[in-house]
Homo-oligomer: A and B are copies of this chain.
Amino acid sequence: MPLSLINPRTFRGTRDFLPNELLARHRILETIEEAYRRYGFQPLETPAIEYLEILTGKSEENDKLIYEIKRARGEEEESAEAAIALRYDLTVPLARVIAQYAELPRPFKRYQIQPVWRADRPQPRQGRFREFVQCDADIVGTDSLLADAEIIALTYEVLRDLGFENFRIRLSSRKLLRGIVSIIDSRDSMFMPICRIIDKLDKIGDDGVKRELVNLGIGWDKTVWAFDYVRTGFDSCRFNDIRVYLEANDQSGMGVIGLSEIEKVRLHALNLGVPETCLACDPTLARGLDYYTGPIFETVLPDHPHIGSLSGGGRYDGLVSTFSKERVPATGTTLGLDRIQTALTQLGKFKPMSSTTQVLVARFDAEGMSECLQMAAELRKAGLRTEVWYDDDKLKKQFAYADKQGIPLVVIAGPDERAKGTVALKNLRKQEQKEVAREGLVEMIKAWITSEPDV
């Protein structure tokens, strides 16, 4: 034993996932992965460590959120000086992959479920961590708005499959936003600053947005009027009215193109089975990242506004050009596993479970151990998830363990049973015990397990 113990603790903003939580989390991931595959997405994984310049690329807005890694002294190689860091999202690595591998099919539909790291102030209650898992699905290599519609339909199906009932997929286009913003302020340099302010609408409210816009020298009244006019138009599907308004006021011409994108994506999504009630076209959707170029979307829970968006994404036709001369259009979305888990927990739909074991082979005496091990081997051969009790403990303790873990069946072969060629089979769920023939035991248990839900 060491002179002083090391205090066992985790780095703030990171978490251990113990089995009871992780098993339920795995079910969420399986549901997401199943939907991704149903839409024809194939998996991709990229390294946690990337060269820093790859991660920062053109934009430097996220630099301060990136965890850099110290190079080890022993690393002797050409680029030993190049800084390395932990990835902070899965979109930039995808853009790198697209530029790096010419053999990838087009369209390239990939999903990626991996952790990312951000040197952010953690807010566990709001589901914000320094290490968290993103679940991305992206379609690379097509300009078709069908791809954007599929991303929306996929998002709808994932959330429906997870058990969400009342959620809204908000839809807009960066081009519509450009049109509206150009009506308010014609300076091109104002676009991203205004975007980032509008993106905070849910967090800081109308007043906060007003204050920040006024600080930028933007007229609030004009802003409100333009956004509200377009928003009302969407609500009542008066697309033609919006078009007339944009044609009259937006000199950039971008607004009309954006409107048409939104109309097409909406129609395709409805054809793909997304219910009209789940889709909300909304010009105040802005998204904070600067690489979006076309349709943008995110998902909110109207009944739980404090949870924030469960998914977010859009079209980014320029990101790959950080790494390649080829023009490669792309669209996609990120599902936030932690936000989803937080939301499902608050909706009472996240059910922890302690174990997936189906049978515990109890230990009665030392003489019976060979028999116990052989039974366990038979049960496992039949595909049954089986544990053997290791220590010389009272049956009461063994039953208590099975009970706490939620293991439904316990088999016990004491000397009496062994002499008779039988086994005592205890069903903890039904609280009953019976003596059954050793021969045929495995088939009997298998039949019972098959007939029971959730075992």
Name A's B-contacting residues (CB within 8 A).
1-2, 5-12, 14-19, 22-23, 26, 37-40, 42-51, 53-54, 57-58, 64-77, 79, 84, 86, 96-97, 99-101, 104-105, 107, 109-110, 115, 117, 119-121, 130-131, 139, 142-144, 146-147, 149-150, 153, 157, 268, 271-273, 318, 321-325, 354-357, 360, 369-370, 373-374, 376-377, 380-381, 383-388, 390-391, 401, 404-405
CA separation between A39 and B23, bound complex, in Å?
Answer: 16
Known: A2-B322, A6-B322, A74-B121. A385 touches B131 (CB 8 A): no
Give 10 A-B pairs besides A5-B324, A17-B44 with Cβ atoms closer than 8 angstroms.
A8-B99, A18-B101, A38-B380, A49-B117, A75-B119, A105-B354, A105-B401, A271-B369, A272-B373, A272-B377
* Beta-carbon contact of B42 and A23 below 8 Å: yes
Q: Which of A6, A99, A107 has the most CB of B within 10 A?
A: A6
* Beta-carbon contact of B70 and A43 below 8 Å: no
* Beta-carbon contact of B84 and A11 below 8 Å: yes
* Beta-carbon contact of A9 and B51 below 8 Å: yes
* Beta-carbon contact of B101 and A86 below 8 Å: no
Q: Report the minimum CB–CB distance from A239 to chain B (whole Å).
A: 18
* Beta-carbon contact of B272 and A376 below 8 Å: yes
- Copies of this chain in the oligomer: 2
Residues of chain B lying within 8 A (CB to CB) of residue A105: 354, 401, 404-405
Residues of chain B lying within 8 A (CB to CB) of residue A79: 12
Q: Report the minimum CB–CB distance from A125 to chain B (whole Å).
A: 16
CA separation between A228 and B1, bound complex, in Å?
Answer: 35
Residues of chain B lying within 8 A (CB to CB) of residue A38: 380, 383-386
Residues of chain B lying within 8 A (CB to CB) of residue A356: 37, 42
CA separation between A212 and B373, bound complex, in Å?
Answer: 43
Residues of chain B lying within 8 A (CB to CB) of residue A84: 11
Residues of chain B lying within 8 A (CB to CB) of residue A18: 44, 97, 101, 104
Residues of chain B lying within 8 A (CB to CB) of residue A68: 69-70
Residues of chain B lying within 8 A (CB to CB) of residue A115: 48
Which residue of chain B lies nearest to A373 when distances are taken between CB atoms in the complex? B271
* Beta-carbon contact of A109 and B51 below 8 Å: no
Q: Which of A57, A119, A143 has the most CB of B within 10 A?
A: A119
Residues of chain B lying within 8 A (CB to CB) of residue A72: 64-67, 119
Neighbour of A14 across the interface among B12, B40, B49, B374, CB < 8 A = B49
Known: A9-B51, A373-B146. A19 touches B37 (CB 8 A): no
* 19 A–B pairs (Cβ distance < 8 Å), ordered by A: A1-B325, A2-B322, A5-B325, A8-B99, A16-B44, A19-B42, A19-B110, A22-B43, A38-B385, A39-B380, A39-B385, A48-B48, A48-B115, A49-B67, A67-B70, A72-B119, A76-B121, A105-B404, A271-B373
* Beta-carbon contact of A321 and B388 below 8 Å: no
Q: Report the minimum CB–CB distance from A44 to chain B (whole Å).
A: 6
Residues of chain B lying within 8 A (CB to CB) of residue A44: 16-19, 22
Which residue of chain B lies nearest to A55 when distances are taken between CB atoms in the complex? B6
Q: Report the minimum CB–CB distance from A422 to chain B (whole Å).
A: 20
Residues of chain B lying within 8 A (CB to CB) of residue A11: 47, 49-51, 84
CA separation between A369 and B321, bound complex, in Å?
Answer: 30
Residues of chain B lying within 8 A (CB to CB) of residue A5: 321-325
Residues of chain B lying within 8 A (CB to CB) of residue A273: 374, 377, 381
Which residue of chain B lies nearest to A109 when distances are taken between CB atoms in the complex? B387
CA separation between A53 and B123, bound complex, in Å?
Answer: 25
Q: Report the minimum CB–CB distance from A244 to chain B (whole Å).
A: 26
* Beta-carbon contact of B107 and A321 below 8 Å: no
Which residue of chain B lies nearest to A15 when distances are taken between CB atoms in the complex? B47
Known: A273-B381, A325-B5. A64 touches B73 (CB 8 A): yes
CA separation between A70 and B404, bound complex, in Å?
Answer: 42
CA separation between A23 and B385, bound complex, in Å?
Answer: 25
* Beta-carbon contact of B64 and A45 below 8 Å: no
